[in-house]
């Protein structure tokens, strides 16, 4: 399920260039209407193979902007897309992101001017997609060093599939019905994004890919994202074919 919120301000909206943590904070604050659910989602999520998954993701902020030093300055309005495999997450957000409500986004006063709910469905077992927020795939070595992969690495697509299977199992209770192949689109342009989430530096990639798998798997991933750190604003995609 998907929610698109539009935020406006009487002034320009100034944010850190690495603003994923700001958007995530906005989402968690809106979920506090159910404090027990919000706490469990934030601290635990759903578990599979010893890992916890929040099963929601969000896009990059959409809007016209200028970069000045270490800040990104948006002209009003801006919009953010949020998706989740758990309908209750979107329902809670709908309750809090009501039109006309005033919110604090970093150091900016903004108000909700539009809220759009949709429940898009993928029927095909093969789709071409493009990223709305970049995909990150990595491993952490025994010495604590993190290795990030790029779409030219075989491990990139393999890592997406492994991660997707774990998330799928966490949500559905087993991997029955899971099926997925990921292939970078030939001749597509892939753009590297080096960013930071709080104190963690992250390398991620924008680009186009072909996904093949069961419709159940593809719909699940549409709502949760590809790769790692989805609840930190990575791995959202749109279907272009």
For residue 78, what are the CA distances in angstroms to 60, 81, 83, 106? 10, 10, 17, 14
Angle between helices 154-172 and 215-224 (to 10 degrees): 90
pTM: 0.93
Give per-residue pLDDT as tens, 122-168: 999 999 999 999 999 999 888 878 999 999 999 999 999 999 999 99
The verdict on 186 and 169 lying in the same domain is yes
Residues linked to residue 112 through DSSP beta bridges, in sequence order: 7
**What's the confidence (pLDDT) of residue 234?**
97
Q: Are residues 131 and 213 in the same domain?
A: yes
* Number of structural domains found in the chain: 2
User: Residue 143's pLDDT is what?
Assistant: 85
Instruction: Determine the pLDDT at residue 199.
Output: 87
Domain assignment of residue 32, given as a range = 2-118
Which residue, among 220, 204, 231, 222, has the nearest Cα to 26 in the 3D structure? 231
pLDDT confidence tier of residue 241, bands split at 50, 70 and 90: low
Please indicate, yes or no, whether residues 131 and 227 belong to a single structural domain of this protein. Answer: yes
Shared-domain flag, residues 52 and 14: yes
Q: Do residues 8 and 29 share a domain?
A: yes
Residue 151 and residue 63: Cα distance in Å, rounded?
27
Residue 49 has pLDDT above 70, yes or no: no
Last residue of a domain, one of 64, 96, 118: 118
**Domain finish residue from 94, 118, 142:** 118
Residue at which a domain ends, from 100, 118, 136: 118
């Amino acid at each position: 399920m998907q929610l698109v919120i539009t935020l406006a301000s009487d002034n320009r909206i100034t944010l850190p260039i690495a603003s994923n943590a700001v958007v995530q904070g906005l989402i968690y604050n809106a979920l506090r209407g159910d404090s027990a659910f919000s706490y469990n989602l934030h601290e635990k999520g759903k578990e599979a193979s010893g890992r916890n998954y929040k099963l929601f993701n969000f896009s990059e902020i959409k809007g016209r902007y200028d970069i000045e030093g270490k800040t990104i300055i948006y002209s009003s309005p801006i919009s953010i897309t949020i998706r989740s495999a758990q309908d209750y997450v979107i329902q809670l957000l709908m309750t809090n992101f009501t039109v006309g409500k005033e919110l604090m986004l970093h150091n900016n006063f903004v108000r909700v001017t539009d809220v759009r709910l949709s429940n898009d469905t993928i029927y095909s077992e093969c789709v071409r997609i493009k990223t709305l927020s970049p995909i990150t795939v990595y491993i952490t070595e025994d010495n604590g060093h993190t290795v990030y992969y790029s779409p030219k690495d075989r491990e990139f697509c393999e890592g997406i599939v492994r991660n997707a299977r774990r998330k799928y199992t966490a949500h559905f209770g087993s991997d029955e019905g899971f099926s997925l192949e990921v292939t970078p689109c030939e001749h597509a342009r892939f753009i590297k994004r080096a960013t930071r989430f709080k104190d963690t530096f992250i390398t991620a990639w924008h680009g186009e890919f072909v996904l093949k798998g069961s419709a159940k798997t593809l719909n699940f991933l549409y709502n949760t994202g590809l790769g790692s750190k989805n609840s930190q604003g990575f791995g959202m995609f749109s279907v272009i074919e």
